[in-house]
Amino acid sequence: MQSKIKQTMLVLGGCRSGKSRFAEEWIAENFKQKTYVATSVVGSDKEMQRRVDLHKERRKGEWLDVEEPLEIASVLRKASVNDGVCLVDCLTLWLTNLLLADLSDCQIEERIRELGKAVDECLASVVLVSNEVGLGIVPESRLSRRFRDLAGWCNQQIGRHCSKVVFVAAGLPLYLKK
């Protein structure tokens, strides 16, 4: 069951497309040691807390949970081969956190480059989940366009560092890169 060869995968999809479930199920079939790197910040948002609780319940305590909203490259660099696989869920929440931390586009792009290097350097396998936000209309606000552009650039960069890229729609995977 435990994969002996390091694997890297980017899983893309729209909101509620089934991308997280696909990533978790793929990992469950291929790895015993599993680390979940959560990028969400719940704060006082009760609805978001409910979503986080549902995700945790679905993993049923079989995962080591690491909550890290900003420094995910650092988490990956610390992972050992014994960690099996690290699932980062999700990159678009991570980008939101970086935007809310008032980082410039150049600073965010540097963080994305650092993340790509960390994916390469990580001793464990890595699966990253991200929203595909470029399939809709051009957003009305400047901030929304900035987010969309950075998310698209992030997905392109991280996709280059991954041996597999999967697009999930309606819960069904389409392998873009095998």
Q: Cβ distance 95 to 108 under 8 Å?
A: yes
Question: What span, in angstroms and rounded, lies between the C-alpha atoms of 72 and 30?
Answer: 22
Catalytic site includes residue 55 = yes
Residue 100: in which H helix or E strand, if any? helix 91-100
Catalytic residue among 10, 55, 111, 168: 55
Per the CB < 8 A criterion, the answer to whether 35 and 66 are in contact is yes
- Distance, CA of 154 to CA of 160 (rounded, Å): 10
The partner residues of 33 in beta bridges, in order of sequence, read none
Residue type, position 141, single letter:
S
Residues 6+ apart with CB under 8 A from 90: 20, 39, 128, 129, 130, 131
Q: Which of 134, 129, 118, 171 is nearest to 10 (CA)?
A: 129
Which residues are known to be catalytic? 55
